[in-house]
């Protein structure tokens, strides 16, 4: 299964990165793609299943969040392709490689939904910090390093928005 994450194109790419570096970065991107897809699905699930006195606001808020995640997913898949790699694209692959976990059959209250999503975003942010460091050293891919930092900043903003919904100050 690991070979799924590696470059599989027969066309050479000459951008100053070794084969090992390209494969390492493509693996990082596909793991991240998997996390993002699971988080997108959780957010979409909460959008569909939120209830309560804040239904309308929460329903719209979750929609805004999953739309941002949808854009991130596309950007990550395209970044892997730019590096001449393959992008994972099946639900099975996403679940096999994701570090974010689902909880089938659970429909929590709206504030718990927000708390769950906040926790997932914070987990992704920590992973992105580690991934950015890996892209810089040992892989020497400053382009993907910068790309990942941009994704991290989007998650930091989304986490802030989620946190603001929970703040009782």
53-84: per-residue pLDDT in tens?
Answer: 999 999 999 999 999 999 999 999 999 999 99
The CB density around residue 77, as the number of other CB atoms within 10 Å, is 20
- pLDDT of res. 146: 98
Gap between the Cα atoms of 15 and 142, Å rounded: 12
Q: Which DSSP category does 42 fall into? A: H
CB contact at 8 A, 25 and 144: yes
- CATH superfamily of domain region 2-6+16-102+110-166: Ferritin, core subunit, four-helix bundle (1.20.1260.10)
Total-model pTM: 0.92
Structure tokens at 155: 């998650």
Split at pLDDT 50, 70, 90, the class of 158 is: very high
Q: Which residue has the tokens 């100053």?
A: 16
CB 35 within 8 A of CB 98: yes
State the burial class of residue 26 (Cβ atoms within 10 Å of its Cβ: 0-12, 13-18, 19+).
buried
Q: Are 146 and 42 in contact (CB under 8 A)?
A: no
pLDDT in tens, 83-101: 999 999 999 999 999 999 9
Cα(25)–Cα(150) distance, integer angstroms: 16
Tokens 């900043």, located at residue: 153
């Amino acid at each position: 299964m690991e070979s799924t994450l590696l470059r599989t194109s027969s066309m050479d790419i000459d951008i100053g990165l070794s084969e090992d570096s390209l494969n390492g970065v493509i693996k990082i991107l596909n793991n991240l793609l998997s996390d993002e897809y699971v988080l997108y699905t959780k957010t979409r699930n909460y959008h569909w299943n939120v209830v309560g006195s804040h239904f309308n606001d929460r329903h719209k808020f979750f929609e805004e969040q999953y739309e941002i995640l949808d854009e991130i997913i596309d950007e990550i898949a395209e970044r892997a392709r730019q590096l001449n790699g393959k992008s994972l694209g099946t639900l099975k692959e996403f679940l096999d490689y994701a570090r974010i976990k689902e909880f089938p059959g659970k429909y929590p209250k709206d504030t718990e939904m927000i708390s769950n999503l906040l926790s997932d975003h914070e987990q992704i942010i920590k992973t992105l910090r580690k991934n950015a460091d890996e892209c810089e050293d040992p892989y020497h891919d400053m382009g993907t390093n910068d790309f990942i930092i941009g994704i991290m900043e989007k998650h930091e903003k989304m986490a802030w928005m989620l946190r603001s919904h929970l703040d009782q100050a």
